[in-house]
Amino acid sequence: LVMIEERISEVIEILCGAQADAGKFDAGNASAGTRIRKSAQDAVHALKDLRKTVSEVKNDRKNQ
């Protein structure tokens, strides 16, 4: 069984991990910007997967 709450927690962890780099980027560290962009892309992929999973579960429940 897919735990949606766990998936959301994973996305939150990705974004919280990027938060420290955000401060570094604001201070002028360009490498931190690269890490933020990677984290943002990872979050996008995780959210798309989450959205797909929620839709599948919802449709499965509707068809039962």
C-alpha of 46 from chain center: 5
Q: How far, in Å, CA of 42 to CA of 36, rounded?
A: 10
Tens of pLDDT, residue by residue over 3-19, are 999 999 999 999 999 99
> Can you state the angle between helices 30-63 and 4-26, rounded to 10 degrees?
160
pTM of the model: 0.84
Token output for 51: 């959205």
Q: How far, in Å, CA of 46 to CA of 26, rounded?
A: 25
pLDDT at 14: 96
pLDDT band at 64 (very low <50, low <70, confident <90, very high): confident
